[in-house]
């Protein structure tokens, strides 16, 4: 949420910043701005996308070898030119870009107003810029000291970069709750919300921790805590190919990411399954494996699509390990005073590893003494660092705001995790264990078959692109898939869609069904098959339009449904990974046909780093 990029070195900063903002635009895209300095400092900002900013500055002075840029997802104040970042203090001494929320900003604003400060914008960030300036002037401090003191006076979350006009040889950066990573080049430094703007210049990075303050000059880097203790920077090498963050010939990142799934699932499985397909390695959860096997209860926390993956995890773990599972929205869990036992195992699922509510849920669980594991995609992310053990999904960068490949990789990781624990506890036989492993290993090829038949889905999309409502139904393992299908459609096409357990339809949604309502029913061959056939009849009896996802060889539903999308046969516990793919494609094609911006849907952000 909000993208931050900064540069200090001997090159022109502008191309690096604009390029970086384009890479970060998936984090927020309602306005954009930059500040550039070559002794004299200039700020340009505008409502709209990074492309609008580029056009806006085309006739301006954009020279400077120090600078910072911001792409915004509005929290305080509507998206407009004035609320866009960077924000300058009244006296023009400090320029700030910020991601996060300063919770006590209105109190600070009142106090600063009492000292004569005036505010142009509605943002909390402008308050912070003025607070820094106020402390700088009054205390005769250095810019770094003023930033530190200001941060002692704020509550909330931030990742920020500051340029001080009286000390223009440096960038000052600080983090609490929102990610920041520093890239180290030769005589130059980069700073960004994530590594994507940095990777084409350097692979050596430092991830800031909460309460870190970094000062970057051309000659070096100083890293301290908010309490002013000196830290030794931990330099890491990142492994990220530039191709992974480009569209690679696809029209949208989302389409690329859907089509990448045969590879990304293979990457999730790589090194986890023995060569003879008879066993699963503990890998990143080795340290906690005994606790997991003996757990009385599992709690799974996540948000959005990751929460849906968690629901599949509940079905998997209860089926194969008989450990009771509760799945919680991280945002509810953290505030509802949940009962957490010290012997609970909490699994936090997150693509980005930066979602604020999931991070807070982890902290709560840790404070209660529980063992917390992470299932994360982004290596080195906050959640991966906050958890004692876990599984990386290795799906590669996901840029499309609507999550696709992250979901299938999360469910893949939960699957082999559940099978492994189930076998260790002797809940499942070696025979079933091996069957499940080989079904999982076959998933990439089966997804490829679904992708090869995308034309059928495109044709269905053409017929129903103008529908105002959609209903998605599924049972058992496929109920979370129905939720995920509905979420995909509403996120990117703005069509109202609801996911329901198929049998629950009779308790409400059936009232909505008429000849205009497409009902997407995930009805592959499993133990609920006959039941879902009855549900389809109930929809047809009310003249609903049935779009059914069926297993290959199905004849019964094919005769009843208006449209069928066939997917290869697999074990019912593996079917969510396959069945979600046609739903991803359906939402993608509908959104494109409706002219929606698929990769940057309105109001959404990829990484929700504010609560």
Catalytic residues: 2, 606
- Region near ligand G6P per CB under 6 A, out of 37-45, 337-345, 348-356, 449-457: 348-356
Least separation in angstroms between CB 334 and ligand G6P: 13
Q: Could you please report the per-residue DSSP string of 6-56?
A: EEESSS-HHHHHHHHHHHHGGG--SEEEEEEESSSEEEEEEES-HHHHHHH
Q: Does residue 604 belong to the site contacting ligand G6P (CB under 6 A)? A: yes
222 phi/psi in degrees, rounded to 5: -120, 135
To which residue do tokens 């960077």 refer? Answer: 86
To which residue do tokens 């300036």 refer? Answer: 133
Question: Cis peptide before 540, with omega less than 30 degrees from 0?
Answer: no
- Residue pair 97/79 in contact (Cβ under 8 Å)? The answer is no
Least separation in angstroms between CB 608 and ligand G6P: 5
Question: Which pair of structure tokens corresponds to residue 449?
Answer: 């078959």
Please say which residue, 57 or 303, places its beta carbon nearer to ligand G6P.
Answer: 303
Q: Does residue 99 belong to the site contacting ligand G6P (CB under 6 A)? A: no
CA 380 to the chain's CA centroid: 14
Q: Which residue has the CB atom at the shortest distance from ligand G6P?
A: 304
Q: Distance (Å, rounded) from C-alpha 174 to C-alpha 378?
A: 21
Order of strands across the sheet that contains 389-392: 325-329, 298-302, 345-350, 371-376, 389-392
Least separation in angstroms between CB 79 and ligand G6P: 18
Please say which residue, 305 or 587, places its beta carbon nearer to ligand G6P.
Answer: 305
Please say which residue, 71 or 351, places its beta carbon nearer to ligand G6P.
Answer: 351
- Residue pair 310/300 in contact (Cβ under 8 Å)? The answer is yes
- Residue pair 230/371 in contact (Cβ under 8 Å)? The answer is no
| CB within 8 Å of 159: residues ≥ 6 apart | 4, 98, 99, 100, 173, 174, 175, 176, 177, 178, 179, 180, 193, 208, 609
Q: Judged by CB under 6 A, which of 99, 130, 196, 355 binds ligand G6P?
A: 355
Q: Judged by CB under 6 A, which of 71, 352, 570, 609 binds ligand G6P?
A: 352
Q: Distance (Å, rounded) from C-alpha 44 to C-alpha 32?
A: 9
Least separation in angstroms between CB 20 and ligand G6P: 20
Q: Does residue 598 belong to the site contacting ligand G6P (CB under 6 A)? A: no
Q: Judged by CB under 6 A, which of 36, 401, 486, 489 binds ligand G6P?
A: 401
Q: Does residue 351 belong to the site contacting ligand G6P (CB under 6 A)? A: yes
Please say which residue, 108 or 359, places its beta carbon nearer to ligand G6P.
Answer: 359
- Residue pair 440/269 in contact (Cβ under 8 Å)? The answer is yes
Please, is 456 exposed, middle or buried when counting C-beta atoms within 10 Å of its C-beta (0-12, 13-18, 19+)? middle
Least separation in angstroms between CB 155 and ligand G6P: 23
- Region near ligand G6P per CB under 6 A, out of 18-26, 352-360, 454-462, 536-544: 352-360
Please say which residue, 566 or 607, places its beta carbon nearer to ligand G6P.
Answer: 607
Q: Does residue 382 belong to the site contacting ligand G6P (CB under 6 A)? A: no
Least separation in angstroms between CB 395 and ligand G6P: 11
Q: Does residue 358 belong to the site contacting ligand G6P (CB under 6 A)? A: yes
- Region near ligand G6P per CB under 6 A, out of 193-201, 339-347, 350-358, 452-460: 350-358
**Nearest 5°: CA angle at 359, between 357 and 363?**
115
Site size for ligand G6P (CB under 6 A): 15
Q: Does residue 316 belong to the site contacting ligand G6P (CB under 6 A)? A: no
The contact set with ligand G6P (CB under 6 A) reads: 303-306, 350-352, 355, 358, 401, 403, 604, 606-608
């Amino acid at each position: 949420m909000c993208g931050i990029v900064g540069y200090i070195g001997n090159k022109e900063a502008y191309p690096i910043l604009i390029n970086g903002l384009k890479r970060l635009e998936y984090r927020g895209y309602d306005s954009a701005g930059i500040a550039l300095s070559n002794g004299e400092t200039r700020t340009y900002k505008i409502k709209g996308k990074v492309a609008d900013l580029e056009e806006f500055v085309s006739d301006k002075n954009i020279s400077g070898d120090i600078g910072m840029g911001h792409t915004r997802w509005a929290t305080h104040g509507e998206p407009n030119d004035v609320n866009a970042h960077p924000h300058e203090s009244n006296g023009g001494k400090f320029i700030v870009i910020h991601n996060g929320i300063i919770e006590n900003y209105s109190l600070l604003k009142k106090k600063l107003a009492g000292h004569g400060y005036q505010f142009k914008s509605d943002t909390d960030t402008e308050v912070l810029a003025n607070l820094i300036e106020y402390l700088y002037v009054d205390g005769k401090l250095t810019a770094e000291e003023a930033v530190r003191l200001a941060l002692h006076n704020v509550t909330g979350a931030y990742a920020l970069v500051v340029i001080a006009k009286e000390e223009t040889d440096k960038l000052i950066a600080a983090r609490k709750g929102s990610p920041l990573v520093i890239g180290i080049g030769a005589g130059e430094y980069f700073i960004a919300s994530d590594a994507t703007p940095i990777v084409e210049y350097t692979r050596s990075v430092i991830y800031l921790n909460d309460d870190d303050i970094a000062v970057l000059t051309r000659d070096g880097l100083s890293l301290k805590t908010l309490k002013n203790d000196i830290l030794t920077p931990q330099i890491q090498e990142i492994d990220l190919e530039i191709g992974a963050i480009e569209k690679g010939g696809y029209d949208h990142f989302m389409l690329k990411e859907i089509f990448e799934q045969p590879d990304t699932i293979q990457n999730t499985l790589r090194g986890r399954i023995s060569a003879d397909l008879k066993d699963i390695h503990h890998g990143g959860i080795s340290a906690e494996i005994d606790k997991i096997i003996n757990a009385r209860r599992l709690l799974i926390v996540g948000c959005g699509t990751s929460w849906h993956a968690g629901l599949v995890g509940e079905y998997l773990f209860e089926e194969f390990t008989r450990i009771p599972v509760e799945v919680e929205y991280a945002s509810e869990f953290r505030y509802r005073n949940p009962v957490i036992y010290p012997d609970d195992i909490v699994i936090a699922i997150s693509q980005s590893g930066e979602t604020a509510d999931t991070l807070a849920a982890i902290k709560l669980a840790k404070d209660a003494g529980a063992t917390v594991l992470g299932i994360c995609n982004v290596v080195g992310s906050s959640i991966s660092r906050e958890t004692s053990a876990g599984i990386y999904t290795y799906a590669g960068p996901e840029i499309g705001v609507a999550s696709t490949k992250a979901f299938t990789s999360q469910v893949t990781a939960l699957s082999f995790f559940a099978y492994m624990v189930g076998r260790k506890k002797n809940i499942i036989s070696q025979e079933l264990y091996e069957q499940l492993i080989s079904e999982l290993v076959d998933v990439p090829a089966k997804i490829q078959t679904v992708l090869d038949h995308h034309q059928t889905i495109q044709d269905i999309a053409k017929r129903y692109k103008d529908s105002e409502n959609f209903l998605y139904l599924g049972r058992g393992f496929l109920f979370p898939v129905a939720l995920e299908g509905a979420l995909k459609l509403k996120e990117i096409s703005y069509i109202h869609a609801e996911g329901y357990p198929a049998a629950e339809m009779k308790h409400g949604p059936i009232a909505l069904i008429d000849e205009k309502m497409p009902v997407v029913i995930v009805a592959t061959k499993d133990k609920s098959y006959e039941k879902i056939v009855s549900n389809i009849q109930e929809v047809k009896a009310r003249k609903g339009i049935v779009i059914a996802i069926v297993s290959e060889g199905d004849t019964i539903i094919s005769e009843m449904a208006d449209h069928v999308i066939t997917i290869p046969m697999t074990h019912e516990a593996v079917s969510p990974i396959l069945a979600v793919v046609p739903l991803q494609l359906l939402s993608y094609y509908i959104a494109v046909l409706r002219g929606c911006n698929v990769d940057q849907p309105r109001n959404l952000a990829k990484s929700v780093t504010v609560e």
